[in-house]
Structure 1
Amino acid sequence: MGGSERATFLFTDIEDSCGLWERDTAGMEVDLEKHDRVLREAVESRAGRIFRSAGDSVLARFESAADAVKAAIDAQLRLRATVWGEATPIRVRMAIHDGEAQGRAGDFYGPALNRCARILGVAYGDQILLSRSIRDSVENQLSSVTNLKPLGKVHLRGLEGPEEIYQVGHPGLKADFPPLAGLDTSPHNLPVQLTSFVGRNRDLREINKLLSASRIVTLTGPGGCGKTRLSLKLGEQVLEEFVDGVWFVELHALTNQDAVAGAVASVFSVAERTGQTIEEALAEWLQPKKALIIIDNCEHLLEGVSAFVGGMSAQCPNLKWLLTSRGPVHVHGEAIYRVPTLSVPEEDETRLASITRCAAVKLFTDRASVISSFNLTSASAPHVASICRRLDGMPLAIEVAASWTKALAPRQIAERLGKHLDLLHRASPSKLSKHETLRAAIDWSYDLLVDQERRLFRQLAVFSGGWTLEAAEQVCQLEIDPIHVLASLIDKSLVMTEEGLAGELRYRYLETIREYALERFSETGDEVDVRRRHLQYFMSFAHEAEKGMTGDAQAEWMSRIDLERGNLRAAMRSGLDLDETEPALKMAVSLWRYWYYHGQFSEGSKWLHDLLDGA
């Protein structure tokens, strides 16, 4: 047996086996035979195979995740019913995970097995733990008496990122255990990432070193090079180092230099007080805290960010700051890390193993395999390598190109993209900048869209900070149901999804793509009509929110307004720009309670004055 294959793995071992051997060596020899027989029969009865057994540990492989879970339950039930020697009943802990593994001489190796071993390492005797991927695979395939209890995210020693762990529950199994070691209890607001993180280990190490030596670190680079994702991953890795948490602040929806403090204050629910500015209130709140604050997309508010971070840094000595910007923020004490693009294969490289090792190729393959049945082969690898080289290893550009594997083969993508880039080279003989390369990839993808996709892509640019399906249906006008067109834009990596309130999906553009969409939006004749519909929709939203904030659902409505703040600001700005101040003024009046409860008197007062002056 050789090569790579995907399978489900069950790992088991005996809790405190060393102590058991010390207390009753002869009895343990007998008990271990009973243990081995129970595990072997349980695994084989569910179509599994034990491929490694060392001491008291058993490693088994299954084709089906559900069979692995059922085998673990069978084994635990039989172990609990077994009569053991005089020392102590044997208690076995179990872990189940799945993934790609390398098969060699009947054995298996690789990251999936490492992760399964680390999950086993945090389990207790009599407990069965599952990874998130196993839980997702089996939740509808088990008996009604079996339940899967979420235990939280656990940081597993030596592995990147926390793992969501679930405990198998069954009437015949022990249910109550102490909290898992490494349980993620650090406070944070880091958004859940729906796609895997590829490469960047060296970058993470270097940024961590800078952050250890400096209190302010700025990640710089062109739009689409991966600054935001890198900052979030770093935040996950250092959670345990900051007792007061890691906090993420987005600035992309802001246009006012003075709004930076308010954006940070809203994350911590810090309010203005009489005789005290929002900066003063925030400094008082943050002064004793040991925390990391990540501020994303600083490039359009450099003056405001520099003044705010510089002031807070002087007053709050235990805070650290991680900023992302297309260039330096120019704040005193700032350390700069220029985020490189992903590694790409050499021009003449044709060997599959060498091409596969490059981070850009790994990203392309990962994203393509999610939306299609794509597998990197010796035939497709040179074309994928060409795509990654032509796109200069820019992560966002590569994701956009990979999304087309649902309709085009890598050779076709490489040819079409190459022609588009060659046209740009002929127009400008000098080497394309990273920004021009990214724009070319988005431009090429846009040109491949059908008319309804292009129209929705342009109109969605009116939203600031994301949108719901209902908002898109009301604001954007198409001849067909927008959900089908929106789904197509998601498939093409032009629109991102994220979880909103109560599990409702929200949609958004990455800022670089929104900038492109806004350019296209301004070129069309429907911009004014779309902005008016956006204004009317959010005027109605604000009116409904005003009523909601006086009832039992007040907390829910406050959270909904938090999510839509960018859209509410954009709608009021449209009221001023389009001379539609009446609905914008109604919106501002409806939001008074929100501003009051949040202590954001300055922003509310400014909007009311501006709209009254423009009326």
Structure 2
Amino acid sequence: MSLPTGTVTFFFSDIEGSTRLIQQLGERYPDVLLAHHTVLRQALAEHGGNELRTEGDSFFIVFGSALDACSGAAAAQQALQSHAWPEGGRVQVRIGLHTGEATLVGNEYLGLDVHRAARVASAAHGGQVLVSETTRALVDHVLPSSLTLKDLGLHRLKDLARPERLYQLNIDGLPGEFPALRTLEATPNNLPTQMTSFIGRDDQVREGRELLSRARLLTLTGPGGTGKTRLSLQIAADVMDQFPDGVYFVPLAAVQDPELVPSAIAQALAISSTGGRRPIDALLEHLHDKRTLLVLDNFEQLLPAAPLAIMLLEGSPGLRVLVSSRSVLRVYGEQEFPVPPLAVPDLKALPSLSALSQFEAVRLFIERAVAVKPDFRATNENAPAIAGICERVDGLPLAIELAAARIKLFSPQALLSRLEKSLTALGSGARDLPSRQQTLRGAIQWSYEMIDAPGRRLLARFSVFARGGSLEQVESVCGPPDDIGGDVIDMLDQLADQSLVRRLPDFSEPRFLMLQTIREFAAERLEQSDEAAAIKDRHVQAFIALVQQAQPYVFGSRRKEWLDRLEMEDDNLRAALDWTLATGDAKNAMLLAACLWRFWQMRGHIHEGRARVAAALA
């Protein structure tokens, strides 16, 4: 399939009320969906539409001509209107058209205009075709007499970007009156305009909406730079129609005194307290009979104010609270939602360039790189480096955006080479961001300063673990309690609550992981202390104990179980060997090698094993 490039028009559509149709039609729904697909495909193909993607009842089509896109959309609505649908199964499709330029990577278009087109469609009603200003400018004077455009005015779409003037494509013989558009203006709100597109996170937005429908207090947690604020805003925009009395964003990063949180919320809602009245009383009176959503951003430094959220929820049955914080609030009724990094490809099995662009981290890098260097293109030559950059920074959105900004100076290959040496190559971000969000180091430093001295000591010591460690190993290397200043289990929980380490599920025993970006920061703190050598020696002893424990089992019936365990700890074993070789500890290096030779042989690491033994004997 040869896809158009340059200025193109994007078509998005989906069925209005598809969930209701599924419930009404039951077993008949698949036949109705198939008929919908057939009708749309025929109408759009006849007008030059190129089908890019179909998911469920939604279509993503690209046209080389804006006029063809309008004609195709009109033909699709006419065909859908005249089709003989079963009783109770009439399909109403909403369509959005937007014209712009996008980067074509394989068979995938990337760029702000793609997202814009999808949001135009989401503002429409069933049977309606919405057209953006750029599309209108190209077709206004060349449309056939059967098609006209109706100016619907300026609207903020749910991508939270700048307002867009929208037009309705009126089609002769079809209804032309529809309810107010599904845009941000339909609900009172103060959600801030975003200057860049929201990329990926479809699964997290969907899960966040579902969790918010069940829990009245939802806390998005994650380390600095993981995109909690942006995700919370997108969830809020998507559920806005469920809160007719308003959706309000309350920025708390600049608030340091927990006593001032009620005042900050009241200010966001434009509520004034007269006389000696307390802000909390004014809030309770204002919210008690309303269906409202509060978005409390950056709550981590205000945890003593967490009971305030419960007080508001108890006094306002229609209230929901969505919080972003590096730490959970630890109050009754709270639902935590850990925000994961963006998906990154497996560097050991890189897919094709087109498939690579499906990974959210890669898409974000490419789109932000094009924003700073319009002639940037992802190619087969630089794709492995782009994937490597995304993996090197753990898929953290802030770090990816900082890396993409460096494309003005470095090729992806050169940038990856620098990042492999140090993350300082990322530099800083936009000057209008808070200082803690301008650099990755600033984001991590913000969290580091919020933990106590024993927690900082544990964080530094934990950095000796490469790709995580089990609870037993962490206790032996980082403890004991009287040495580190507290119970290791409790302190690990606190670090996890602050999003500085991650609890890993799906293991028979508790296991913890530190993102590589945070690990480098923590390792610097360990090196600045006087205990780095001692902690690394403990790490070596812990893994000598593990390989000695494994040795009797690598030949027996439990061979796979123990080989898998050693494979999981391969990075830690390498780190232990590196330290023994760096310190000239040939005895422990050979002890590790003697216990690992069968693992190296069975799991394809024999060349590495020989090199390790040779280095120890040198």
Q: Specify which of 413, 430, 433 is matched with residue 494 of structure 1.
A: 430
The 1:343/1:512 distance shift into structure 2, 3 A limit, reads same
Q: Is the 8 A contact 1:11 1:96 kept in 2?
A: yes
Return the offset for 1:292: 1.2
Correspondence for 1:408: 410
Correspondence for 1:327: 327
1:347 paired with 2:347, answer yes
1:34-91 per-residue CA deviation (whole Å, 9 max, x = no partner) reads: xxxxxx9xxx9xxx85789xxxxxx99764548977x89x99xxxxxxxxxxxxxxxx
Correspondence for 1:97: 98
Correspondence for 2:312: 312
Correspondence for 2:219: 218
What TM-score do you get using the length of structure 2 for normalisation? 0.51
The 1:516/1:150 distance shift into structure 2, 3 A limit, reads farther
1:175-194 per-residue CA deviation (whole Å, 9 max, x = no partner) reads: 99554454551221111222
Q: Comparing 60-69 with 384-393, which one deviates more in the overlay?
A: 60-69
1:245 paired with 2:240, answer no
Q: Is the 8 A contact 1:252 1:511 kept in 2?
A: no
3-state SS of 2:273 partner: coil
**Equivalences, count:** 381
Q: Is the 8 A contact 1:328 1:336 kept in 2?
A: yes
Correspondence for 1:357: 358
3-state SS of 1:2 partner: coil
1:399 paired with 2:381, answer no
1:302 paired with 2:303, answer yes
Q: Is the 8 A contact 1:3 1:103 kept in 2?
A: no
Equivalent-residue separation in structure 2 for 1:11 and 1:272 (angstroms) = 47
- After TM superposition, list the pairs within 5 Å mapping 1:357-506 onto structure 2: 357-371=358-372, 372-421=374-423, 440=424, 444-446=426-428, 493-495=429-431
The 1:4/1:393 distance shift into structure 2, 3 A limit, reads farther
The 1:213/1:117 distance shift into structure 2, 3 A limit, reads closer
The 1:123/1:116 distance shift into structure 2, 3 A limit, reads farther
Q: Is the 8 A contact 1:95 1:123 kept in 2?
A: no
Q: Is the 8 A contact 1:9 1:62 kept in 2?
A: yes
Q: Is the 8 A contact 2:11 2:117 kept in 1?
A: no
Q: Is the 8 A contact 2:225 2:440 kept in 1?
A: no
Return the offset for 1:165: 5.8
The 1:373/1:333 distance shift into structure 2, 3 A limit, reads same
The 1:278/1:514 distance shift into structure 2, 3 A limit, reads farther
The 1:347/1:403 distance shift into structure 2, 3 A limit, reads same
Return the offset for 1:378: 1.4
Equivalent-residue separation in structure 1 for 2:365 and 2:126 (angstroms) = 35
> Gapped runs of 5+ residues in structure 2?
14-42, 52-59, 76-93, 108-112, 142-147, 446-618
The one-letter amino acid of 1:383's match is: A
Equivalent-residue separation in structure 2 for 1:60 and 1:311 (angstroms) = 49
Equivalent-residue separation in structure 2 for 1:373 and 1:275 (angstroms) = 60
Equivalent-residue separation in structure 1 for 2:272 and 2:120 (angstroms) = 47
Correspondence for 2:207: 206
Return the offset for 1:407: 2.3
Equivalent-residue separation in structure 1 for 2:336 and 2:392 (angstroms) = 27
The 1:118/1:175 distance shift into structure 2, 3 A limit, reads closer
Correspondence for 1:512: 437
The one-letter amino acid of 1:512's match is: Q
> Gapped runs of 5+ residues in structure 1?
13-39, 53-58, 76-92, 105-109, 422-439, 447-492, 496-506, 521-615
The one-letter amino acid of 2:369's match is: A
1:135-179 per-residue CA deviation (whole Å, 9 max, x = no partner) reads: 247659977xx99834455989xx999995612799x9x999554
Q: Is the 8 A contact 1:283 1:315 kept in 2?
A: yes
The 1:344/1:178 distance shift into structure 2, 3 A limit, reads closer
1:218-250 per-residue CA deviation (whole Å, 9 max, x = no partner) reads: 111111111001100110111111121211100
Q: Is the 8 A contact 2:124 2:182 kept in 1?
A: no
Correspondence for 2:585: none
Q: Is the 8 A contact 1:296 1:323 kept in 2?
A: yes
Root mean square deviation of aligned Cα: 5.2
3-state SS of 1:285 partner: helix
Equivalent-residue separation in structure 1 for 2:377 and 2:226 (angstroms) = 25
Correspondence for 1:534: none
3-state SS of 2:199 partner: coil
Correspondence for 2:337: 337
The 1:416/1:4 distance shift into structure 2, 3 A limit, reads farther
Equivalent-residue separation in structure 1 for 2:337 and 2:245 (angstroms) = 25
Equivalent-residue separation in structure 2 for 1:382 and 1:415 (angstroms) = 12
Q: Is the 8 A contact 1:2 1:103 kept in 2?
A: no
- After TM superposition, list the pairs within 5 Å mapping 1:505-544 onto structure 2: 507-509=432-434, 511-513=436-438
Equivalent-residue separation in structure 1 for 2:434 and 2:309 (angstroms) = 27
The 1:168/1:328 distance shift into structure 2, 3 A limit, reads closer
The 1:511/1:247 distance shift into structure 2, 3 A limit, reads farther
Correspondence for 2:264: 263
What TM-score do you get using the length of structure 1 for normalisation? 0.51
The 1:317/1:183 distance shift into structure 2, 3 A limit, reads same
Q: Is the 8 A contact 1:129 1:165 kept in 2?
A: no
Equivalent-residue separation in structure 2 for 1:50 and 1:346 (angstroms) = 34
